């Protein structure tokens, strides 16, 4: 496939949303088509599933299956067609979030996630994943002063600690694809790092 698939990851409160406009602007200046999307969501069905996923309590297996149902729709309707026409796809979260939230933080066995991943995506992986990383306390502080939390944002420090360590483990396991960004710095500095990474790819 000719396109470029970039994903953005991090704990809630890590600040990734702040930097999405910069990323999109820089990529678009290269002249190629840029598709900006998000998970869970990215399609009309996926956005309906997002409402359930972010606000309804459910068993972690149900949650994982619904995440991948939304992802299957997203891949078939949006991501694969865009990559096939040579576009750059930027997805605000993808399967690394499922490993971090459903396996790392909520305890779904890894082999079940691997089965879902294999079924829904086959060999497809992002080309580059930007991981916005902050210490757990920073993330919790930022969330405390933000809008009404969704189901995941309302979790406590232990959940966030498991989440962060799973994200960092994946970054260590797949160093060729991950760029870990220290997001516990002034916004301008983080922005500069993000720009350097985007220009380098
Ligand atoms: P998020 O991307 O943080 O959006 P917003 O900035 O609007 O809050 O919210 C999505 C939430 O869904 C986030 O808490 C992580 C969670 N999530 C999973 O648990 N598993 C997944 O596979 C994905 C894609 C997201």
Contact predicate 95/71, CB 8 Å: yes
d(CA 58, CA 186): 37
Q: What is the pLDDT along the chain (201 residues), one digit of tens a residue?
A: 789 999 999 999 898 999 999 999 999 999 999 999 999 999 999 999 999 999 999 999 999 999 999 999 999 999 999 999 999 999 999 999 999 999 999 999 999 999 999 999 999 999 999 999 999 999 999 998 877 899 999 999 999 999 999 999 999 999 999 999 999 999 999 999 999 999 999
**CATH no. for residue 148?**
3.40.50.300
**Can you tell me which atom of ligand 1 is nearest the CA of 38?**
2
| Nearest-angstrom CA–CA distance, 157 and 12 | 12
Helical residues (DSSP H) of 44-105, grouped into ranges: 44-55, 60-74, 80-84, 95-97
Question: Which domain range does residue 100 map to?
Answer: 4-200
What is the C-alpha separation between 73 and 68, in angstroms, rounded?
8
Residue nearest to atom 6 of ligand 1 (CA): 17
Q: How far is the CA of 39 from the centre of ligand 1 (A)?
A: 7
Question: What does pTM read for this prediction?
Answer: 0.96
- Domain total for the chain? 1
């Amino acid at each position: 496939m000719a396109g470029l698939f970039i994903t953005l990851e991090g704990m809630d409160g890590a600040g990734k949303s702040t930097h999405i406009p910069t990323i999109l602007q820089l990529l678009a200046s290269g002249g190629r088509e840029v598709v900006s999307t998000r998970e869970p969501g990215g399609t009309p069905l996926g956005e309906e599933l997002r409402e359930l996923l972010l606000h309804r309590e459910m068993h972690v297996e149900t949650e994982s299956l619904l995440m991948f149902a939304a992802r299957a729709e997203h891949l078939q309707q949006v991501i694969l067609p865009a990559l096939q026409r040579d576009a750059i796809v930027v997805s605000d979260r993808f399967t690394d979030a499922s490993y971090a939230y459903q396996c790392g933080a909520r305890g779904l066995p890894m082999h079940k996630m691997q089965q879902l991943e294999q079924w829904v995506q086959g060999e497809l992986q992002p080309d580059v994943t930007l991981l916005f990383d902050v210490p757990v306390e920073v993330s919790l502080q930022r969330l405390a002063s933000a809008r009404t939390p969704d189901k995941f944002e309302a979790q406590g420090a232990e959940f966030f600690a498991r989440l962060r360590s799973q994200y960092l483990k994946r970054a260590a396991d797949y160093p060729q694809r991950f760029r870990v960004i220290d997001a516990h710095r002034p916004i301008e500095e983080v922005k500069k790092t993000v720009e350097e990474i985007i220009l380098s790819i």
